[in-house]
Chain A
Amino acid sequence: MKRETDYGHPIKSVYAPSDIEGFNYGKDLGDPGSYPYTRGYHPNGYRGRMWTQRMTAGLGTSSEANKVLKQYREMGQKGGMCVISDRTFSMPIDSDHPLGRKEAGVLGWPGSSLLEFEELMDGIPLTGQSVTLLGSCAPTSLRLAYIVALAEKRGVDVKQVHGSVMESPFENYFGQTDGQPFDLNLKLFLDASEYAIRNKIRMRSAIITQHFQESGGNNAQALAVEMAMLKEICGLLVNERGLDFDDVAPLPYELVTVGTRFFEEIAKMRALRRMWAKLAKETFKAKKDKSCHLLIAVHTSGRTMTYQQPLNNIARCAIQTLAGAIGGCTSIDNACLDNAYAEPSPLAARMSLNTQHIVAEETGVTDVVDPLAGSYFVEYLTNKVEEEAYKIWNKIEDLGGMIVAIQKGYIQDMLREAAQEKHREVENGDRLIVGVNDLVIPPEEDFEIPLQEVQASDSENIARRMEEWKKTRNMSLIKESLTQLYSDAKKEDKYNLMPSIIEAVKDYATAGEIMGVIRQARGLSYDTLKMIDCPFKFE
């Protein structure tokens, strides 16, 4: 069995002061609440603000997802909601698209119109909790438009709504894709981010390595990729969109995947805070202390949730949740015991939320900030993962930054190799996973867990509803707003499309229509999948 970090650095049997020679408390760590924030952003840690305990929801119809959100609130989901998009809205296409109708409601919420968002949020407040809508980059501007439109309908000041609805275009290269070209995704992402910043809407952008790690990337690579993405995006917002860095800094958040290698995961989170603080201060010359704080959300790792003996995943989730809590985070959402099979069943969701409650209430972990500081091993690991990450990040910068590194295939090759390596390690028995390559039992002896399923008929029903509803809309209003959008989308890339997207969304133009019109204006096919034609004519 390998005794190495997940990025291949050998681990000794014991660590001593000599392993952190030159350690300087003030320079390397600082007190919690002071630069370089290795120990966290708040002097009194979770005593001042508990992490947001949330579970991902979304499967089947919008009304079904709404019921789940309400159940989660009853289960003690505090502070925030998190909804993931289905296969159609992730692209985005409409659920009545010829291919969309086959998989509407699969893996998430079929949010391809404002109507779906209204149904999702029925009876759920927009304020007083963070609203997070996840899925992929492409629908970023639509999700922000939904927030603006629904706030307006409800008479809520949109500045009072907080959460995250934007997602960076890089994730398309981290093991899953939304099918949209990079330049289009980047443009729409920058539009939405700029619009939120200029209008003081407290919606954050996910610039995250979750998918990268869930696809097999290691901890040092994840840190490097995260920093390279942050530098690229913040740089574009400052230099191309003319924003002040101190206004840009509150925009990004990182969703860190926390696996079972306990100490390494904690070290990664500590190193990330230190690396961002340095980037903010030294490269972007941040004037505000707060600009050196990168919001870190934790996702306990889905890839570690095994298909075999799924009850074992409860134990893994508990270890990971504890690591996330000790690492210092703003929120945690858990991959559940049934993660290898489906979206969380009510049982799995309750188990996961309770895991968070147990860690929060019963272990004492919330009493003390950064309790592992000063541990020779943890400080060594924090330094080491940072050092290895800087090496990779420097390579990315030498290539010309994150966008060029993607264009050259460098990131994709790195990730593919890392995924192969992880696979080899398990096949060779270099890393043991209980129930997978260790203590294996025959499948027929495995415990059956309840599973949520979406049937083909469920997808078809979602599609039919959209088909029928589309006929009831005021088409002249829609035509008008889409014509405006079409003409705006033909303007230069820096011309912000958010205002015209918001108008189209308010008129109940669908995600497929809005994305289609933007695509067409840019010389692409109306339909990403080239199966349907544009139903509108523009001059």
Chain B
Amino acid sequence: MSIRALEFYRSPARYVGARTIGARAPGLVAGPLAPLRLATLKDLSPPREGWTRVKPRLSGICGSDLATIGGRSSFYFSPLVSLPFVPGHEVVGELLDDCGDLTAGTRVVISSVLGCAARGEDPMCPNCEAGRTGRCDRVTVGHLQAGLQTGFCKDTYGGWGRQMLAHRSQLFVVPDGMADDVAVLVEPFACAIHAAHRAQIAPGSSVLIVGAGTVGILTLIAVRSFTQAGHVVIAAKHRAQRAAARMAGANEVVNPEHAAKAVRRISSAIKLTPERGQDFLLGGADVSIECVGSRAGLDLALRTVKAGGRVVLSGIPAGGADLTPLWFRELELVGAYTAGVEETPAGPRHAFELAIETASSLGPVLGQMVGATYPLDRWRDAIDHAMSAGRLGTFKVAFAPQG
């Protein structure tokens, strides 16, 4: 028996094509320029103790996946992945094997980082030891080939296939009452919770969230659930995003071009207009969280935070942003990558546990965020849809690999 999966492979010609004209013609990225193929791959078996095969039920398409396919990812990642790989790291699936305390058939979500535990590194790096697996220093060594996460590693496969491998340290059990279309959002929600913690939002602080796609909305929910933020402004481009942001508890929902004005208003800042480029503020929000991963988004975040304020990068950063405000306003620029153990008032908790608990109560809201699911053989439609999700009023597009 073999495994049907979407495989990302090395293709310099497609890479160049997607990078140069993909932004102007996104349809081509889902078509002839996609370095993806629906392949039949060899069977998997758990390589050693602590590993299990997982049958993905749903696997989301993330912004980082689209950036990779569209040739927009930084070459910084090139030594951190092993090609060809099966993408997909937002996964809800069921175990095909018994794994430690978990029995076959258990429904799980996967914390995607392939850290020291998964790689058999002993002793673990200090970060993994502290539960901050996102910061693992060993993601290129050990039992596995290089791969910062499941979905970027040749050996484990990923969620965009009918089977994949996962280590016990990555698994979190999904409660019975939680639907798959909610569970598939646990991974991005855990990342959002991590971002909210990284933002270190003091009670009553003003927050600007740039972007109201899946990451932005989940970040907004996390900020509202896990901090005592004061006034929260969110910059949302599309109508469905604006509606969702209002439901999710934003005090103000504005178009991105009005975001500086809205922040200025709540902070009584001075707004200045440079000879070229976006307006900026002297004064501004206490914290800004960039959830788009675009240059314009980062520029906006940097230009609307008060002096000494904090800018959190939640989206994969794009190059080319003007860092002058970072220097001139003495800002703190903070990265928020994946999820790990967070310090909470009740003690250290894994962000996945927090996400599962919170998602259980937010089920109906989150369930509406998965706008479409596609079988693997309609992968071009799925990618095309995901690339235009905001415009089409969709938040999350996912594969149903068994369909």
- Is the pairing of A and B real? no
Q: Which A residues are closer than 8 A to B by beta carbons? A: none
Which residues on B are within 8 Å of A, measured CB to CB?
none
